[in-house]
Amino acid sequence: MRFLPLEALSRRAPLGLRCLDLARGLNVTDGLMVAAYPLGGPALRRVAQRSPMSGIYGFRALPGLRSYEQGQAPASDWCADPGDGGTPSGEALHDLPPLLALVEANSTPVSANFAVEISDTLGRFLPQVMQMCLPKEHLVEVPLFSAPARPPPPGSGVVRGEIYDPVAGGPASWAIVSVSPEPGTTYVGMADARGMFAVSLPYASALPSLGGTSIDQLAWDLAIGVRYQPSVQRSVAGSPADGPPDMRSILEQATAGIRDSAPDAAAVASITRPIRFGSDLRAATGSAARLLIEPAP
């Protein structure tokens, strides 16, 4: 006796995300709230489910994508999917160029039809929103920036500060901060809506030769730069007014000028500050409480 299947059902997920902790180089598998909605239609918001095995956040269904989810239409009916660009590790994403390349591969404002929001219920990471063209046939890698109050990983130093724009009279919200212990090595962080930021970097990447010096007396110089260009920050249709702008537009900001020694000093592209082993570095303009900048035009 032969048995023949009467019907074959196919289900495809329109989006799956793996979130990466930039400070620790690890996947984030808990505590996140991930949601998606058609651009301009937040009332159709859907919340992702977390896989208990892999920690990946995925959507079983999204508005308007049923024919793809049921295997009746290819992803190219909605957008050109770039394909899987690999699985970068958190360690490979501490500098801006690979970060921007990763985000650009998945965030396409011109052809986007959905907004994807990520927030952390545990307060470890800054919120973000991306404009994407969905469905995606591959897993999307999403880098997460540490919140300002987050402790650094073991064996790491941290640069903290508050960035302020005296021209506009307000915080440099969502600025990108770069910290370089040596040429060719850079670590980046992001300021929150208040201009507050924290950038972690491993001591091992910058420790000088001990040379008989007590380890608690060790110090070395860091080059600090800021990218802040509010004119290119793009809001996302349907997202909260007090929320972050589109992540790609944040990473595409140009270099701002920094006032180094005094509030009325001429702006420079970067400043140098010493960090001592075991102590946080608070970056600021001279003796001021905040780091004063001039935004890129």
pLDDT digits (tens, 9 = 90+) for 241-252: 889 999 999 999
Q: Give the span between the Cα atoms of 95 and 100, in whole angstroms.
A: 9
Looking at residue 297, its pLDDT comes to: 94
Q: What is the mean pLDDT of the chain?
A: 89
pLDDT, residue 81, reads: 56
* pLDDT, position 80: 77
The terminus-to-terminus CA distance of the chain in angstroms comes to 77
Q: d(Cα 16, Cα 118) in Å, to the nearest integer?
A: 13
Percent of the chain with pLDDT over 70: 88
Average pLDDT of span 109-138: 95
The pLDDT value given to residue 282: 96
Q: What domains does the chain contain, in order, with CATH numbers?
A: 15-144 (no CATH), 156-294 (2.60.40.1120)
Identify the CA nearest to 258 among candidates 213, 210, 293: 293
Residue 266 has pLDDT above 60, yes or no: yes
Of the candidate ranges 38-47, 81-90, 239-248, the one whose mean pLDDT is the lowest:
81-90
Read off the pLDDT of residues 165-193 as tens digits, 9 standing for 90 and up. 999 999 999 999 999 998 888 999 999 99
Q: Which of 290, 287, 289 is nearest to 226 (CA)?
A: 290
Burial of 137 (0-12, 13-18, 19+ CB in 10 A): middle
Task: Indicate the pLDDT class of residue 218, thresholds 50, 70 and 90.
Answer: confident
Query: pLDDT per residue over 219-234, tens digit each?
Result: 889 999 999 999 999 9
CA distance 221 to 205: 12
Q: What integer pLDDT is reported at residue 182 of this predicted model?
A: 87
